[in-house]
Each structure stands twice: as C-alpha cells, then as structure tokens.
Amino acid sequence: MVVSNDLNTAIVGYYRPLQEVNQGFRRIKLLGLDSDKEYHVSINETDHYGDELMNLGLITSDSSCGENREIYNGINGDYLSRLYIIKAK
C-alpha cells in the first residue's frame, strides 16, 4: 500500500498465490488514511470513511466467500491479484 502525501489517494495491492477452500471473508486493514475523509474504492465502486478502512478493513471477497462464480473468468481462482485505487471524495 502507498498513500499520497496529501492523503487523498492510495493504491493497495492484493495478491493470493493459492485459493483456500471454504475460507471466510478476508480483510486488509489499511494505514495512513485521513480518518475523517470519505474515500471511493474503484474496484468495487463503494465509498467508505478512512477510519472504517483503517479499523475494519477492505473486504477482499472472492468465489470461496459467497460470490458464486462456478466458471473461471480470470478474476477468481489461484494466483489472483488486484489493485485497489482509493481516492478521497
């Protein structure tokens, strides 16, 4: 994760080498955001306050956690990687 000096933009990398079976939802707890600012997360088009992202974390949901994708579509399975672009509103 990297955060701009003005705390308005962050980039978070998520990498999973192998898919675990029946694994619950995972969260990435972020650091260095402004707790009072509202941020937009580009990959899932949601809005969260900085304190929520730092204390509760960003859910990295996948097909083993309730999203039913029975056919491999390139964004699920082994060797998954995602880049979350987070910008202040």
Q: What's the chain look like in SS3?
A: CEECCCCCEEEEEEEECCCCCCCCCCEECCCCCCCCCEEEECCCCEEEEHHHHHHCCEECCCHHHCCCCCCCCCCCCCCEEEEEEEEEC
Q: Which pLDDT score is estimated for 16?
A: 82
Q: Is residue 62 predicted with pLDDT exceeding 70?
A: no
Where along the chain do its domains lie?
2-88
CATH number of 2-88: 2.60.40.1180
Q: Is residue 76 predicted with pLDDT exceeding 60?
A: yes
pLDDT per residue over 25-47, tens digit each?
788 999 999 999 999 999 889 99
Q: Which pLDDT score is estimated for 74?
A: 62
**Stated pTM of the model:** 0.78
